[in-house]
Structure 1
């Protein structure tokens, strides 16, 4: 049924449950797994407190370390379930678009993601990335609560 499953993660605890659920499904189906995390780009005019205090280079370094940590944790969950997952980190101002584009370009049959992730001001302003993926994706989406 599903041959390649994209699992989007932001490092939150709920996202970790989505990684576990998605990798268990992949194991049961014999599907390949692609773990994806998307970080935002630096903005000169930002509402996020962490961007107000950083320079473009320190922000990029901070986001890279966060992405590496997020993907390492997700990979560990997958490995613990016997799945050797590929990982990918992208920078994009519209994470939902990056998730959909990646799923399409990698020929994924299913996208797995948490019902919500990190919050804060950006979540209030931008809305749920999961809802945006659900609304715009032609690929099936499994939402883990």
Structure 2
């Protein structure tokens, strides 16, 4: 059945709950996992660009380091659950695009992710990354709510 699961995480409690459930599922079906953390890109709106200097590079360095540390703790959890785990972090403004592309690049056959359940006007205006993945992915998506 499923052999390789992509587990996008964002650090929220719901995302971590989905990660833990997906680990149990992966263990039961003897699948391996790739855990993905998408970091929002750095944006600054100012007319004094010279004051920013190396801010973008510093942001990328610190965000990548922080994501690496977070992913290392999740990889350790996967190891403790006897699940083969790979980790990936990317900086991008549109997480759903990176989720789908990473699933393709890594030959994942299932994406398991949390639903953040935006409702009402916020859901209409902002949408959710989960909904965007569901809309655009050709790879099956399992949503944990």
Shorter-chain TM-score tier: 0.7 to 0.9
The answer to whether the Cα contact below 8 Å between 1:19 and 1:78 also exists between their aligned partners in 2 is no
Matches within 5 A, 1:22-61: 22-45=22-45, 55-61=55-61
Q: Deviations over 1:33-58 (max 9, x none)?
A: 11111112111239xxxxxxx92133
C-alpha spacing 1:127/1:59, structure 2 compared with 1 (3 Å): farther
Measured after TM superposition, the shift of residue 82 of structure 1 is 1.2
- TM-score of the two chains, using structure 2 as the length reference: 0.81
Aligned residues: 134
Aligned equivalent of 2:65: 65
Distance apart, 1:63 and its partner CA: 1.4
Instruction: Give the aligned partner of residue 103 of structure 1.
Output: 103
Which structure has the greater CA radius of gyration? Answer: 2
What secondary structure does 2:88 align onto? strand
RMSD: 2.4
> C-alpha separation between the residues in 2 aligned to 1:126 and 1:70?
26
Structure 2 unmatched ranges of 5 or more: 47-53, 118-122
Question: Where has structure 1 moved over 2 Å in runs of 4 or more?
Answer: 123-127
1:12 aligns with 2:12: yes
SS at match of 2:143: strand
Aligned-partner Cα distance in 2 for 1:36–1:13: 16
SS in 2 for 1:90: strand
Shift of 1:69: 2.9
Q: Deviations over 1:21-80 (max 9, x none)?
A: 11111111111111111112111239xxxxxxx921332233113312321232132122
Q: Structure 1: 5+ residue runs without aligned partners?
A: 47-53, 118-122
What TM-score do you get using the length of structure 1 for normalisation?
0.81
8 A contact 1:36–1:88 mirrored in 2: yes
Indicate the residue corresponding to 1:85 in structure 2: 85
